[in-house]
Structure 1
Amino acid sequence: MSRRTEQIGGTRQRIVDAAVALHGSVGPARTTIAGIAGKAGVTRLTVYRHFADDEALFSACSAHWLSQQRPPVPAEWSRENDPLERLRVGLSDLYRFYRDGEAMLTRIYADLAELPEAHRKVLASRNDHFRNVLLEPFPEAATNNRLRATVSHGVSFWTWRSLCHDNGLSNDDAVDIMSTLIAAAAGTHPSIAP
């Protein structure tokens, strides 16, 4: 019985590995069950036996990929009470995650409209949480729409990608730029060395 269980587990893992590889190379929208089956060395029916629908397969892929990453830790950002220091700590952590996972995250965000609805909601909720943690120490956060919008812009993967991937900035430079922009939206002007 345990050998059969190991075989089933091994087959399931091959399917997940194949799906992760395809999501990272062609994106979720272009990943097909036939492609996953071929890459995993199984039949399409075997894929369906292990994963009843796209949402179950995408959940397994996400969990597996995230288990191999070092995700951002907003609870650590919250240790900083100074709003500008929290921005630096939080954006540095977030941008490190974006750089480390750039290939996969580019595909996921590019295919966002094609993801299962539950996963779109998780990504939106996560970004809202990042924004809220960074806004928390700003006294004017509840009433300053420009500040909220600018912090939302700062936590966006596409903002990081534009600054760092497209324009060649380091993460530190991107953090400095976004911190300065957010401080201006908040009405404070930190002295940040160029």
Structure 2
Amino acid sequence: SLLDRQIARHWRDKAFARVKGVTGKPARKVAVVGNCQSFGYAFALKLFDPALVVDRYALVAPSYTDLKTLRGALADYDIVFSQDFGPKILRDNATSDALYADLPGVIRLPTVNFYGFHPDTIHLLDPTKGYRYILGPAGVYHSALALFGHIKGFSVEQTEALFSHEAFAFVGYLDVWPSAIEEVLRAGQAASMKLDSAVA
């Protein structure tokens, strides 16, 4: 997984003692732990301060890394940011709560999933392959309506017919906007960030 590769890179870089700033002083090291949004967070931090060394620990699929290994790598950073994550990512099923307990200085970042824009989007996991994401034409993203059509044995034409205003209204897709805003605000509050001005 991406996480396993970053752990290996970290230990390699530590062994070769990289990380020297332009002045010869050790640069401040920042780790960003999280899902696909961690790339954007890491990039933004680098834009704010180009002298930072920012490493991304992507938690996007089950990995061979356990909490002890992740914690050991993150302990070498000056600042650690992390999004919340659940079980089935780390080998020992540890969650972000365990990471926060072990590294109390971790700064929480919100996971922003605004499903008001894409209420039909789902992720599919394969239990026969360690709950790894099932990849399709759009990567890890799939359509709940397309899956429903497949499970029910619908033809392509019948499945396409599900993508209508009437079907969206019937399954509640047209009503998710308010709850999607509430979820973004809740995610911000959980990370001690006020996001009220970021949503309309």
Give the TM-score normalised by the residue count of structure 1.
Answer: 0.30
Richer in strand (by share): 2
Richer in helix (by share): 1
Q: Which has the higher contact order (CA 8 A, sep 6+)?
A: 1
